[in-house]
Chain A
Amino acid sequence: MDEHAVAQLWTKVCQDLRTEVSDDDFNRLIAPLSPSARGNTIVLEAPDVVAIESIAAQYLLAITRAVEKTASASVSVQLRLRPGAEQQELFPPPPVRKPPVRATEQGHEHALLARYTFENFVVGASNQFAHAACQAVARQPGERYNPLFIYGGVGLGKTHLVNAIGHAILARNPRTRVMYLSAESFMNELIGSLRKDRMDDFKNRFRRADVLILDDAQFFAARERTQEEFFHTFNSLHDSGRQIVLTSDKFPKDIPALEERLRNRFEWGLIADIQSPDLETRVAILEKKAEVEGIDLPHDVALFLAHHVDSNVRELEGSLTRLGAFASLNRAPLTVDFAREVLASMLRTARAEISIETIQKFICEFFDLRTADLRSKRRNRNITQPRQLAMYLCRRHTHASYPTIGRHFGGRDHSTVIHAINVIETFLREDANFRATVERIERSLHSLG
Chain B
Amino acid sequence: MEYSIARDDFQAALYLMQGVLERRTPVPILSNVMITTEANGVVITATDQQIGVRQLCTGRVKRKGAATANGRILYDIVRQLPPGEITVRRLDNQWVELMSEKSRFKVVGMDPQEFPAMPKMSREGEKHAYTLKASLLREMINLTLFAVSTDETRVNLSGVFVEPLKEKQLRMVATDGHRLAMITRPLDTVPGGGTTVILPRKGLVEVKRLLDGGDDDDVVSMVTKGNVAHVARGAVEISMRLLEGEFPDYKQVLPGAASRKVTADIEVLEAALRRVSLVSSEISHGIRVAVEPGKLKISSVNPDRGEAEEEIDAEFAGEAIEVGFNARYLLDVLGVLPAGSRVEISLSDELSPGLLQVQDDPDYTYVVMPMRL
Contact = CB atoms under 8 A, between A and B. Distances in A.
A195 B156 CA distance: 8
Given A47-B283, A196-B244, 12 more contacts: A47-B281, A49-B283, A84-B286, A85-B281, A86-B372, A87-B178, A88-B371, A90-B180, A194-B153, A195-B155, A197-B244, A197-B246
B367 interface: yes
B324 interface: yes
A89 B353 CA distance: 9
B351 interface: yes
Contacts of B351: 88
A85 B244 contact: no
Interface string A68-97: 000000000000000011111111000000
A1 interface: no
Contacts of B326: 87
B284 A91 contact: no
Nearest to B286: A85
5 contacts: A84-B284, A90-B175, A90-B177, A197-B244, A225-B153
A88 B175 contact: no
Contacts of B281: 47-48, 84-85
B283 A90 contact: no
Q: How large is the interface on B (under 10, 10 to 19, 20 to 34, 35 or more residues)?
A: 20 to 34
Given A91-B253, A225-B153, A48 B282 contact: yes
A191 B154 CA distance: 10
B253 A90 contact: yes
B28 interface: no
A50 interface: yes
B126 interface: no
B298 to A, nearest CB: 15
Nearest to B350: A88
B89 interface: no
A50 B283 contact: yes
B318 interface: no
Given A47-B304, A88-B372, A90-B178, A197 B353 contact: no
Nearest to B156: A197
Contacts of B156: 197
Most buried by B among A86, A196, A225: A86
B178 A89 contact: yes
Contacts of A195: 155, 244
Contacts of B234: none
Interface string A179-205: 000000000000100111100000000
A32 B305 CA distance: 10
Interface in B202-250: 244-246, 248
Given A84-B281, A194-B155, A90 B373 contact: no
Nearest to B326: A87
Interface in B166-225: 175, 177-180
A89 B92 CA distance: 58
Contacts of A47: 281, 283, 303-304
B119 interface: no
Contacts of A225: 153
A48 B253 contact: no
A225 B177 CA distance: 16
A195 B50 CA distance: 14
A49 B156 CA distance: 26
Contacts of B177: 89-91
B370 interface: yes
A235 to B, nearest CB: 20
Interface string A131-175: 000000000000000000000000000000000000000000000
Interface of B: 153-156, 175, 177-180, 244-246, 248, 253, 281-284, 286, 303-304, 324, 326, 351, 353, 367, 369-373
Interface string A15-56: 000000000000000001000000000000001111000000
Nearest to A224: B153
Nearest to A28: B304
A197 B245 contact: yes
Contact of A85 (B178, B253, B353, B371): B371
Nearest to A190: B153
A32 B304 contact: yes
Contacts of B367: 90
A353 B367 CA distance: 64
A326 to B, nearest CB: 39
Contacts of B303: 47
Nearest to A89: B177
A200 to B, nearest CB: 11
B220 to A, nearest CB: 29
Given A47-B281, A48-B281, A50-B282, A87 B153 contact: no
Contact of A48 (B179, B245, B283): B283
Given A49-B283, A84-B284, A87-B326, A196 B245 contact: yes
A89 B372 CA distance: 11
A225 B154 CA distance: 11
A89 B304 contact: no
Contacts of B154: 194
Nearest to B152: A194
B284 A85 contact: yes
Most buried by B among A50, A87, A225: A87
B255 to A, nearest CB: 10
A85 B324 contact: yes
Contacts of A87: 178, 284, 326, 369, 371
A188 to B, nearest CB: 13
A47 to B, nearest CB: 5
Closest CB pairs A-B (n = 10): A197-B245, A48-B283, A85-B284, A88-B369, A85-B286, A86-B372, A47-B304, A90-B253, A87-B371, A85-B371
Nearest to B367: A90
Contacts of A194: 153-155
A92 to B, nearest CB: 10
Contacts of B253: 90-91
Interface in A208-223: none
